[in-house]
């Protein structure tokens, strides 16, 4: 969850004159990024564990890791809040806030997820936890998509981008885990990771092409342009080549190459979120105070 005091629905209000230069938001830092990483990676891990874990033991390892990652992301954002007790305020605005909806996913996510670790097979509790994690991820994507004051966030194409990279990150870590679990079925997992990387690549290109030159600060374009080349090659071309090679060779090569590709997919996804939230988040300042708007009590998204 994110602090309601920092929801950047920033620049809705009476029209005033834009300044000529863009400013980088600083309210959301690496701790907010940590929450986005935790939600996406944890959801992808839970999905992979529920769907493709070769044994209940493998499921428990991957699901427990997924729950821990989501929890670490929440701890990051609580550390940013200063007064963690204010976190309970998010439960007051379910009709209007995607933060509140994200918060309501947590009891089922952690409750069903914890219970699933003690069951003898992957069953209803695991499915419920996975569906809650996917809804948690969707809420995070919508939080960015509804943040009207930051042009790089408010484009609706950011929603499928956040969804696809979250799944790629989690399934990537599941591929890495499979290298250490005897009897893991690597080929289906490698194929699933390859598919999610393809979806992320398409979502990234659609997001970039959809950005309007007239509305997006040139500083944002500079950051995304510098990031794009490495992201496409290192985050998609390289892991895809490793996965295809592993699938063609089969056997232990599939496991090893899929594990390497999975780690690369996860790390580059985390880098994407860090770039979007802390480096590309420029806005044009109006005559009223941006900081004051960001400090308003409740989000209306």
pLDDT digits (tens, 9 = 90+) for 42-80: 999 999 999 988 889 889 999 999 999 999 999 988 776
Number of neighbouring beta carbons within 10 Å of residue 21: 11
Which tokens is 75 given?
């701890």
Least confident of 198-202, 205-209, 294-298: 294-298
Share of the chain above pLDDT 70, in %: 80
Long-range Cβ pairs for the range 241-247 (8 Å, 24+): 243/190, 243/191, 243/193, 243/194, 243/197, 244/194, 246/186, 246/190, 247/187, 247/190, 247/191, 247/194
Q: How far apart are CA 299 and CA 147, in angstroms?
A: 9
pLDDT confidence of residue 215: 78
Q: Is a pLDDT exceeding 90 seen at residue 294?
A: no
Confidence of residue 97 (pLDDT cuts 50, 70, 90): low
Q: Mind listing the domains of the chain with CATH numbers?
A: 23-289 (1.20.1630.10)
Which position has the higher pLDDT, 154 or 293?
Answer: 154
pLDDT confidence of residue 287: 34
Q: Is a pLDDT exceeding 70 seen at residue 20?
A: no
Q: Minimal CA–CA distance to 94: which of 248, 293, 298?
A: 298
Q: How far apart are CA 157 and CA 139, in angstroms?
A: 14
Q: Minimal CA–CA distance to 201: which of 153, 164, 157, 238?
A: 164
pTM summary value: 0.84
pLDDT digits (tens, 9 = 90+) for 217-244: 999 999 999 999 999 999 999 999 999 9
CB contact set of 259 (below 8 Å; sequence gap of 6+): 175, 176, 178, 179
What average pLDDT does the structure give for the chain?
83
CB contact set of 229 (below 8 Å; sequence gap of 6+): none
CB contact set of 80 (below 8 Å; sequence gap of 6+): 3, 6, 29, 31, 32
pLDDT confidence of residue 18: 38
pLDDT confidence of residue 3: 39
Q: How far apart are CA 47 and CA 49, in angstroms?
A: 6
Where are the strands (E) in the chain, listed by range?
Answer: 22-24, 282-284
């Amino acid at each position: 969850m994110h602090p309601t005091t920092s929801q950047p629905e920033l620049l809705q209000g009476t029209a005033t004159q834009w300044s000529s230069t863009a400013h980088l938001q600083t309210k959301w830092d690496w701790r907010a990024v940590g929450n986005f990483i935790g939600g996406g990676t944890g959801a992808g891990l839970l999905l992979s564990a529920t769907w493709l874990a070769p044994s209940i033991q493998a499921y428990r390892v991957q699901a427990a890791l997924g729950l821990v990652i989501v929890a670490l992301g929440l701890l990051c954002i609580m550390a940013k809040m200063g007064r963690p007790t204010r976190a309970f305020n998010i439960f007051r605005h379910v009709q209007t806030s995607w933060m509140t909806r994200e918060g309501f996913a947590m009891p089922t996510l952690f409750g069903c997820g914890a219970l699933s670790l003690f069951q003898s097979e992957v069953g209803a509790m695991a499915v419920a936890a996975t569906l809650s994690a996917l809804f948690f991820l969707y809420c995070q994507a919508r939080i960015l998509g509804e943040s009207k004051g930051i042009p790089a966030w408010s484009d609706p194409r950011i929603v499928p981008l956040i969804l696809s990279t979250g799944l790629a990150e989690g399934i990537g870590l599941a591929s890495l885990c499979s290298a250490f679990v005897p009897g893991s079925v690597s080929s289906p997992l490698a194929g699933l990771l390859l598919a999610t990387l393809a979806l992320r690549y398409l979502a990234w290109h659609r997001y970039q092409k959809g950005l309007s030159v007239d509305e997006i600060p040139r500083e944002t374009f500079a950051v995304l342009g510098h990031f794009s080349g490495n992201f496409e090659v290192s985050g998609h071309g390289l892991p895809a080549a490793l996965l295809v090679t592993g699938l063609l060779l089969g056997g232990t090569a599939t496991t090893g190459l899929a594990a390497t590709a999975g780690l690369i997919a996860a790390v580059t996804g985390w880098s994407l979120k860090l770039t979007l939230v802390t480096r590309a988040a420029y806005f044009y300042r109006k005559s009223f105070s941006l900081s004051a708007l960001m400090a308003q009590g409740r989000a209306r998204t």
